[in-house]
Structure 1
Amino acid sequence: MKTELTDTTSSKVNAALLEARRSIGMPTLGMVLTLVIVTDEENAYDAVKAASDASREHPCRIIAVIKRQGRAHRRLNQTRLDAELRVGTDAGTGEIIMLRLHGELTRHAGPVVLPLLLPDAPVVAWWPADAPEDLGRDDLGRLAQRRITDAYTALDSVAELAARGASYAPGDTDLAWTRLTPWRSLLAAALDQRPVSVTGAAVESEADNPSAELLACWLEDRLGVPVERVVTPGPVVTRVRLATAGGEITVDRPSGALATLGVPGQPDRRVALKIRSTAELISEELRRLDADDTYAAALRRLSRQAAAAAPAVSTR
């Protein structure tokens, strides 16, 4: 069921949502959180689709905040809120509220969203693109226990990610880190099978890949060894090598959904290591709402390395 409201308010949206649920006999029981998506019209469809797919594992209320700041609205000084409500079969396993903020209202999204949050339920905020510099101080970021960004969408993704280290707050995360979960699990399992001292490492990937930089920083932080960055045609991370006294431990995925795990003294094995969809990444992030200290350590190391590599600014 779909309901559209024009030039409305948060209280009217709440009332319309309640009426829509009553008309189809759908309670809010079973929804475990509120997912707030802060986006624009260009990215709204894909983001809401991914969130709706993720809601099959995590039934939730999805609130898409779409800020409309076109020239026409500024010229007319038009400040208003339009809403589209989806419940039942049109909203997957939860509810979808599309909020389009026009004019001056785009600067005050927090008070608009606050009355629409599920009571006594965690809040997760996700910026598919164009995230604010300081997530914890953003008016929507302050409402959330978990704040998700995606450095891949930035023009300079590695610099964007490195800058996040300066404003990091517990609960911040990035999908560039989430994409590494299978890699980190596989590398940790390989070292568990062959407990040896690692003397060096290398991460091979396409140029300026934020996931590769985070993976290298994670290895440096956990193993205490220098990690070489090697540029390859890609796509994304293609190979990781861990040097040991008995030979190299390697995870090699030049393309496709399968990788080759090489451990000295053992036959090579083929393991699943596909590139996951955005819906799968969001589903993983919604499984945990606490601070990710491992990500924080890797991010801070990346920020320190970026600061050290930056050219000195002359004061003359």
Structure 2
Amino acid sequence: MKIDLTDTTSSKINKALVQGRRAVGTPAVGMVLTLVIVTDEENAYDALKAANDASREHPSRTLVVIKRVSRSPRDRAQTRLDAEVRVGADAGNGETVVLRLYGEVTDHAQSVVLPLLLPDAPVVVWWPINAPLDPAKDPLGALAQRRVTDSYAAERPIHELTARSEAYTPGDTDLAWTRITPWRSMLAAALDQVVCDVTSVEVEGEEFNPSVELLGMWLADRLSVPVRRSLSSGPGLTAVRMETSSGPIILDRADGSLANLAIHGQPDRAVALKRRETAELIAEELRRLDPDDTYEATLRFGVDRLDDSDGDGARPGTSDAARPVAEPAAEKKAAPATARKAPARKAAAK
């Protein structure tokens, strides 16, 4: 069921939600959170589709905030709020309100959203594109317990990661980090199968891909070994090679779907490691609403290395050859050259 409201208010939108629930017989008590999506008109459809798919696992009230930028001064002076209320089959397992803001109200989106939040339920804000550099200080971000960004959608992803590190607040997360969860789990599981010390790591993937950078920083932080970055044509992450005292461990995914795990002394095996859809990433982030300490530690570890980036997001002097992405911090360099595999096992699962 869809209800269109033109030049409306938050009070009228709430009444329309009640009317829609009564019409389709859907209670509000089954929803577990409010998901606020801040996007533009071009990307609203894809973001809403991903949220509806994720609602099968996390029934929620989804508020889509679209700020319509007026081109002429006359249009900017016309303040208006239009809304589209969806309940039942049109809203997945929950409710959806698409809010289109015009004029001065675009600067006060939090005043429109606040009355529409589910009472006594967590709030998650997601920016598919154009995320603020400090999500926690954004007026909408300040309403949320969890703030989701996607540095992969930024023009300069490496600079975006630097900004995330400098402005990190507990509750922040990024889909570039979520994308590497299967890689972290697979690498930790591989190290569980052998007794060894890891001496060096090479991470291979697309240039300017923030997930590749984050995986390299996580490995360098947890294993206290040098990590080198090599470039490939993708898609995304393509390989991780670990040199250990028991021989090399290689996780290679050339086609973005099926990976090959090679452990010295064991037969090679094929493992499923496909690139996941946005709906799967959002669903994973909604499973936990507490701060992600591992993500924070990874950001803190890598910020000094990322500061060396130049204006276009690339590190100076880089080429297609392998290059350092991160090295152990000064206090960790005093430790032996090898590192135990236990820290990686403990940090693999989010």
Alpha-carbon shift at residue 308 of structure 1 (Å): 4.5
Residue 144 in structure 1 maps to residue 134 in structure 2: no
Residue 3 in structure 1 maps to residue 30 in structure 2: no
For 1:221, the aligned partner's letter is D
Contact 2:83 2:99 in 1 (8 A): yes
Question: What is the correspondence of 1:11-90 to structure 2 with a 5 Å cutoff?
Answer: 11-72=11-72, 75=75, 77-90=77-90
Q: Which residue of 2 aligns with 1:184?
A: 184
Q: Which residue of 1 aligns with 2:243?
A: 243
Taking structure 2 as the reference length, the TM-score comes to 0.87
Alpha-carbon shift at residue 299 of structure 1 (Å): 1.3
Q: Which residue of 1 aligns with 2:97?
A: 97
| Long gaps (5+) in structure 1 | 312-316
Q: 1:109-166: per-residue Cα shift (whole Å, max 9, x none)?
A: 1111011001110010000000011111111101111100111111111211221111
Aligned-partner Cα distance in 1 for 2:209–2:178: 14
Alpha-carbon shift at residue 29 of structure 1 (Å): 1.7
Contact 1:74 1:103 in 2 (8 A): no
Residues 76 and 62 (structure 1), Cα distance of their counterparts in 2 relative to 1, 3 Å cut: closer
For 1:186, the aligned partner's letter is M
Contact 1:242 1:248 in 2 (8 A): yes
Q: Which residue of 2 aligns with 1:158?
A: 158
Alpha-carbon shift at residue 17 of structure 1 (Å): 0.8
Q: 1:271-302: per-residue Cα shift (whole Å, max 9, x none)?
A: 00000000010010000000001111111222
Question: What is the correspondence of 1:203-242 to structure 2 with a 5 Å cutoff?
Answer: 203-242=203-242
Q: Which residue of 1 aligns with 2:301?
A: 301
Residues 74 and 49 (structure 1), Cα distance of their counterparts in 2 relative to 1, 3 Å cut: farther
Alpha-carbon shift at residue 79 of structure 1 (Å): 0.7
Moved more, 294-303 or 127-136: 294-303
Q: 1:22-47: per-residue Cα shift (whole Å, max 9, x none)?
A: 12211112111000000010110000
Contact 2:159 2:309 in 1 (8 A): no
Alpha-carbon shift at residue 309 of structure 1 (Å): 5.2
Contact 2:257 2:274 in 1 (8 A): yes
Aligned-partner Cα distance in 2 for 1:119–1:62: 14
Q: Which residue of 1 aligns with 2:263?
A: 263
What's the secondary structure of 1:82's corresponding residue?
Answer: strand
What's the secondary structure of 1:247's corresponding residue?
Answer: coil
What's the secondary structure of 1:45's corresponding residue?
Answer: helix
Alpha-carbon shift at residue 74 of structure 1 (Å): 5.2
Contact 1:36 1:62 in 2 (8 A): yes
Alpha-carbon shift at residue 310 of structure 1 (Å): 5.8
Contact 1:147 1:172 in 2 (8 A): yes
Aligned-partner Cα distance in 2 for 1:74–1:304: 47
What's the secondary structure of 2:152's corresponding residue?
Answer: helix
What's the secondary structure of 1:28's corresponding residue?
Answer: coil
What's the secondary structure of 2:189's corresponding residue?
Answer: helix
Question: What is the correspondence of 1:117-132 to structure 2 with a 5 Å cutoff?
Answer: 117-132=117-132
Q: 1:47-66: per-residue Cα shift (whole Å, max 9, x none)?
A: 00000000001000000000
Aligned-partner Cα distance in 1 for 2:307–2:210: 16
What's the secondary structure of 2:250's corresponding residue?
Answer: strand
Q: Which residue of 1 aligns with 2:284?
A: 284
Aligned-partner Cα distance in 2 for 1:109–1:73: 20
What's the secondary structure of 1:108's corresponding residue?
Answer: helix
For 2:297, the aligned partner's letter is A
What's the secondary structure of 1:62's corresponding residue?
Answer: strand
Aligned-partner Cα distance in 2 for 1:61–1:187: 36
For 1:201, the aligned partner's letter is V
Sequence identity percentage: 63
Contact 1:73 1:102 in 2 (8 A): no
Aligned-partner Cα distance in 2 for 1:159–1:33: 31
| Long gaps (5+) in structure 2 | 312-350
Q: Which residue of 1 aligns with 2:317?
A: none
Aligned-partner Cα distance in 1 for 2:57–2:28: 16
Q: Which residue of 1 aligns with 2:335?
A: none
Aligned-partner Cα distance in 2 for 1:229–1:254: 16
Residues 31 and 73 (structure 1), Cα distance of their counterparts in 2 relative to 1, 3 Å cut: farther
Q: Which residue of 1 aligns with 2:168?
A: 168
Residues 305 and 294 (structure 1), Cα distance of their counterparts in 2 relative to 1, 3 Å cut: same
Residues 119 and 192 (structure 1), Cα distance of their counterparts in 2 relative to 1, 3 Å cut: same
